[in-house]
Structure 1
Amino acid sequence: MRVEHLARAAVLLGLAACANVQAPPGGPEDKQAPRLLATRPDTMASLQGWTGPVVFVFDEELAEQGVEDAVSLSPVRGRVAVDKEGDQIVIRSRAGWERGQIYQAEVAAGIKDRFGNARTEPIRLVFSTGPAIPDTRASGAVVERITGNPGQQTRVDAVRLRDSLTYTTRTDSVGRFEFRQVPEGEYRVIAYRDANRNGRPDPFEARDTARLTFATGQAPTARLATLLPDTTPPVVRSATITQGWVEVRTDDYLDPEQPLSAAQVAVIGPDSVPVAIAEVRVGAPPAPRDTTDAVDADSAAPAGAAGTTRQPPRADSAGAAAAPPRGPLPAQALFVRPSSPLQPDTVYVVRVTAVRNINGLVGSGQARLRTPEAAPAPAPRVGTDSAAAGSGTPARPGTARPAPADPAPAPGRPRASLPARGALVPARD
C-alpha cells in the first residue's frame, strides 16, 4: 500500500512539473508606438459640472518612466495628480474643475510602451466647462542663445496679462511650439528650462519672454532665445594677438548684434601713441580664403563633356522649414583689426569702452598686450647660393647643382680610398 501511495505522489509531482512548463514566446515583435484609442471627456466637448478625471486610453500598456513629466494641464489651479494605470493615463485636478474655464490636457511626445517604442507626436485634449472654445492660434520657436541649437522639450507658458490665466505647452525636437484654442487676450509668453520640474520659471533657469495677442483670425509668432540671467556687466580679462587681430577676452558672452565702432577700442603703444583701428567685431574674424588649391570640378570640365552636367545645389527644404532660424551667435571675445601691423615684442594697452553683453549690460575695461617677437628669417635653401658659386651660370632658385660622381674602379682592382673633397693631397715624386 505504501509503495502505491509513493507511486501516485510521483505521478502528481510530474504532472505539476509539466503544468509549470511554458511554451516559448511567439508572434511578431512589437515595434509600434502606443496608439491613442479614446479620451474622456471627448475633445472639444462643452461640459457643465464635470467631476471625473481626464483619461487617455491607449491600445497597449505604457511604461512607467516619463509619464508624469510628459503630462501638462492648463489652466493650473492647485495640484494635479498624474497616474499611469495599465494602458491609461489618468489626470485629476485636486481643486476640481472650475466653471467657466477652457481646459487643455497635453501628453508630450516621447511616452513609451513596455518595449521602448516611443510616440513622436503630442496629444492635446481641449474641453470647456462653460464658454465657447475660441479658434485662436499662436506659434513660435525656441533656441538656446549661446549655441543657437533648438530648445528641445522646453516649457512654454502663456500668461494672460489681465488675470494671470496661464496655459502651458512644450517645444518639439526642433524647438517649435504652438498654442491653440486659448482664450483671447494679451499674453506674456515665457520659454524656460524647468530644471527642478516645479512648473514655474526660477531665477537660476535659462529663459526668454515675448508678448503675443491671441485673437480669432490671427496667428502671431515669436522667436525666443533662452539665456541664463545675469546682473553684472562684462569685464575685460586679457588681450592677445590672433592672426594679426587683437583678441580681447571678456568674462561674459557679448551681444553679436550690437553696433560697434573703432572709437570704442583704443590700442596704446609706447610713448602713449595710439594705433589706428580699422575694424571691431564680436567673435572670430572671417577665415582667409585660400583659393590656390580649390578646384571647381564642374568649371574645370569643358561644357558639354560627358558626365559633367552642371546641377544647382540642393537645399534641405524639409530641414529648413522645420528648424528655427539662427542668428549670429554670441562670443566671449572682441576682435580688433589695427590699420597697420603692431610692432613685435612691444607692450601695448588695450582699452574697451561701452561694450554690451547678451543680457543688455554695458561694461568697459582694459588689458595689457605684449606682441610676440619677430619671426626669424628663413634659412636659405641648400644649393641656391653655394652651388652657383664659382660657376658662370647662376643656379636656378630652388635647385641644387648635382655633385660629380666618383669614377667606378676598374674590374679586378681593389678600389682605393679617396680623400675627402677639399682635403690636401701630397704630391708624388
Structure 2
Amino acid sequence: MPPPGARPDEIPPSIVRIRPAPDSIVVDFDGALEIRFSEPVRIPNGLAREMFVTPMETYEAEMGFSDLRLRPEDGWRDGVAYCFTIPTDGINDLLRNGMEDPVEFCFSTGGDIPDTQVEGEVIDALTGQPLEEARVIFWAGPDSIPYGAISDSIGRFATRGLPAGEYQAFGFVDRNRNMIPDRVLESYDSTSVAVSPETPAELRFVVVAPDTTPPLLARALVVGNETVQLEFDDYLLNPQPEEPGIAIRDSATNEALEIVASLIGSADAVTFPLDSAALADSIAAADSVAEADSAAVGDSTAVGDSAAVEAPSPDSVGAAASDSVTEEDPVLPSRFITVRLAAALDTGTYHVSVTGVVNVRRLAGGGDTSFVAEPEPPSGDSAAAADSVALADSAAVADSAAVADSTAAEGDSVAVEQDSVPPVPDTLDIPGVPPDTVGAPPDTVGAPPDTVRRRAPGGARRAWAPGVRGKRRRA
C-alpha cells in the first residue's frame, strides 16, 4: 500500500535492461537472456508458452523480483539470430499497472542479423474474419531451424531475422500449444515463400479445418416453383474451379429437366442474373410510371413559374447513384448450391446427381439423392396482396361515397341556409298604420299598451296590466 498522503502509482513498469543487448552479436553465448524491469512485477507462469521466439524453441523461464531470465531447453545454437516477441498481457506491477506494448528485440550468436521482413494476415476461411493469436511457422527443409510469428488482434503478423532462402510457410490455430501445425486436428493453410533482404514478402493464410473426405450430396430441397437447393456435408469453394455436373430427372419418365443456372450459396443468399434483370426492368417501369404521374400532376397543378419543379441536375443524379452503391460482402464458402430450372416443377419425384464439386480442402466429390415436388399452397404474400387490394377497393368506395354524401350534405346545407334567410317583407298598405310599424305584432298595432281595455265575450272582463302585452297564436 502507498503511504498516507501519497499519490497512487499509475505508471506501468518498463524494461530498463536486456542482456545480451538488442542487435548485438555474442559468439559462444552460454548464459541466460536477462530482462530487467523498472520495478517489481507480476509475471504469469505461462509466459514462456505465450511468448514467441524465432527460431522456434522450447524455453525455460525463471522469474525474479523484478527480472525475467530465459534459456532454451536444448541450449543456444551457434551462428543463429534469435528474435523475441514478449507479450505484455499479464505483466503488471504490484498495483496492477500493466505494460502497454509488446517488446521485440533480436541478438545473434554468430554472424549478422539478416535484414529480412515477412508480413501477412491470417483469416478464417468460413467467416472471413481475422484470427488473433494464430501462429505462422517457416521451414526451409526437414532438418532446418523453424522460424515463426504470431498474429495480433487484427490477424496481422510480422517476422524478421529469417535467413534468405525458400521456405514452406504454415498459418495455423495452435490448439494443443505445441507450436507446430497438426494437420490432422488443427485448422491451417500453407504456402511457399522466397525470403530475401531486397524484397519484403506479404502472405495471406486462409485457414480451414482438416478434412480427408470428399464432399457428399446430403439432400435436395424444393424452395420455389423453379428453384432447387442442394445441400452438401462439406463447405464448397466459392467459386468452384470448374462448373460442377448437375442433372435432375423426373423419376417417372426419366426425362432430364433443363437447368438455367447454378450458384454456390443458399437460395436466400444468391441472386441469379435473370432475377436481377427482371428487378431492373420492374424498377425502370415503376420509375417511368412515377415520372408520367408526376408530369401529369405538374401539368394539372402548375401555377405560373413559381410552381414549376426543376429537373434534377446530372451532378445530383450522379451523387445519388454513388451514395446508393455499397461495399459488396465477401464471397464465402457455402454448403449449398442453388439450381434454377427453365420451367416450373410438376408434382412428382425427381432424382438429382452431382459430380465434380470441390470442397475447401480442394477434394472433389458429388453424389445423388431424390426429392418430392408437391403442389405449392397459396402464399401468404399473395393472400395479403389480395386482401390489401380488396381493402383498397373498399376504401376507395367508402371514400367516393363519403365524397358524394359530403357533396349532398353541402347542397342540403346551402338549401337550408337559403330557406333560413327571412324573405324581405313586402310593403303593407294598411290604412291608418304608420310605415314604421309594418311587421309589428298585430295586437299592438295602433293601440297604446297602457290604455287599451277590451270586453271579453259573454260579459267577462280581462284587465291588461300596464307594460304587459297579450299574446296570440299565429295561424
CA contact (8 A) 2:48 2:59 kept: no
- Which position in structure 2 is the counterpart of 1:136? 116
* C-alpha separation in 1, matches of 2:360 and 2:50: 32
CA contact (8 A) 2:89 2:98 kept: yes
* C-alpha separation in 1, matches of 2:85 and 2:150: 9
* C-alpha separation in 2, matches of 1:129 and 1:107: 20
- Which position in structure 2 is the counterpart of 1:189? 169
- Which position in structure 1 is the counterpart of 2:338? 335
Match of 1:187, SS? strand
Pairing of 1:267-282 with structure 2 (within 5 A): 267-269=248-250, 270-282=252-264
Q: Does 1:97 align with 2:105?
A: no
1:350 pairs with 344, 349, 352, which one?
352
CA contact (8 A) 2:172 2:189 kept: yes
Equivalent AA in structure 1 for residue 108 of structure 2 = S
Match of 2:253, SS? helix
- Which position in structure 2 is the counterpart of 1:41? 20
- Which position in structure 1 is the counterpart of 2:365? 363
Equivalent AA in structure 2 for residue 106 of structure 1 = T
Match of 1:69, SS? helix
* C-alpha separation in 1, matches of 2:5 and 2:75: 45
CA contact (8 A) 1:160 1:185 kept: yes
- Which position in structure 2 is the counterpart of 1:213? 194
Equivalent AA in structure 1 for residue 104 of structure 2 = R
* More helix per residue: 2
Pairing of 1:137-286 with structure 2 (within 5 A): 137-161=117-141, 163-202=143-182, 203-243=184-224, 244-261=226-243, 264-269=245-250, 270-284=252-266, 285-286=269-270
- Deviation digits for residues 355-383 of structure 1, max 9, x if unmatched? 11111111121122222422238496599
CA contact (8 A) 2:56 2:148 kept: no
- Deviation digits for residues 179-200 of structure 1, max 9, x if unmatched? 2121111111111111111121
CA contact (8 A) 2:265 2:334 kept: yes
Equivalent AA in structure 1 for residue 358 of structure 2 = R
**Bigger Rg over Cα:** 2
The alpha carbon displacement at 1:25 in A equals: 8.0
Moved more, 158-167 or 148-157: 158-167
Across the two proteins, how many residue pairs are aligned to each other? Answer: 358
The alpha carbon displacement at 1:273 in A equals: 1.5
The alpha carbon displacement at 1:399 in A equals: 4.2
The alpha carbon displacement at 1:212 in A equals: 0.9
Across the aligned residues of Structure 1 and Structure 2, the Cα RMSD in angstroms comes to 4.0
Match of 1:267, SS? strand
1:71 pairs with 43, 48, 51, which one?
51
CA contact (8 A) 1:62 1:88 kept: no
CA contact (8 A) 2:61 2:68 kept: yes
The alpha carbon displacement at 1:59 in A equals: 3.2
- Which position in structure 2 is the counterpart of 1:419? none
CA contact (8 A) 1:105 1:125 kept: yes
Moved more, 119-128 or 137-146: 119-128
CA contact (8 A) 1:153 1:172 kept: yes
CA contact (8 A) 1:138 1:219 kept: yes
- Which position in structure 2 is the counterpart of 1:7? none
The alpha carbon displacement at 1:41 in A equals: 1.2
Equivalent AA in structure 2 for residue 225 of structure 1 = V
Pairing of 1:357-396 with structure 2 (within 5 A): 357-376=359-378, 378=383
The alpha carbon displacement at 1:281 in A equals: 1.7
CA contact (8 A) 1:102 1:129 kept: yes
- Which position in structure 2 is the counterpart of 1:425? none
CA contact (8 A) 2:116 2:200 kept: yes
- Deviation digits for residues 113-149 of structure 1, max 9, x if unmatched? 1566555543222111111112111111111111111
CA contact (8 A) 1:137 1:178 kept: yes
Q: 1:157 to 1:118 in 2, by over 3 A?
A: farther
Pairing of 1:114-125 with structure 2 (within 5 A): 114=93, 119=99, 121-125=101-105
Match of 1:68, SS? helix
* C-alpha separation in 2, matches of 1:333 and 1:383: 37
The alpha carbon displacement at 1:90 in A equals: 2.0
The alpha carbon displacement at 1:163 in A equals: 3.8
* C-alpha separation in 1, matches of 2:29 and 2:311: 77
CA contact (8 A) 1:350 1:366 kept: yes
Q: 1:257 to 1:374 in 2, by over 3 A?
A: closer
CA contact (8 A) 1:353 1:365 kept: yes
Q: 1:381 to 1:140 in 2, by over 3 A?
A: closer
Match of 1:228, SS? coil
- Deviation digits for residues 15-46 of structure 1, max 9, x if unmatched? xxxxxx9966852463x554333211111101
The alpha carbon displacement at 1:57 in A equals: 2.7
Gaps of 5+ in 2: 288-308, 406-475
Equivalent AA in structure 2 for residue 330 of structure 1 = P
Q: 1:162 to 1:349 in 2, by over 3 A?
A: closer
Match of 1:336, SS? strand
Q: 1:363 to 1:230 in 2, by over 3 A?
A: same
The alpha carbon displacement at 1:349 in A equals: 1.4
CA contact (8 A) 1:66 1:111 kept: no
Q: 1:331 to 1:26 in 2, by over 3 A?
A: farther
The alpha carbon displacement at 1:251 in A equals: 0.7
Q: 1:267 to 1:399 in 2, by over 3 A?
A: farther
- Which position in structure 2 is the counterpart of 1:59? 38
CA contact (8 A) 2:119 2:158 kept: yes
Equivalent AA in structure 2 for residue 279 of structure 1 = A
CA contact (8 A) 2:83 2:106 kept: yes
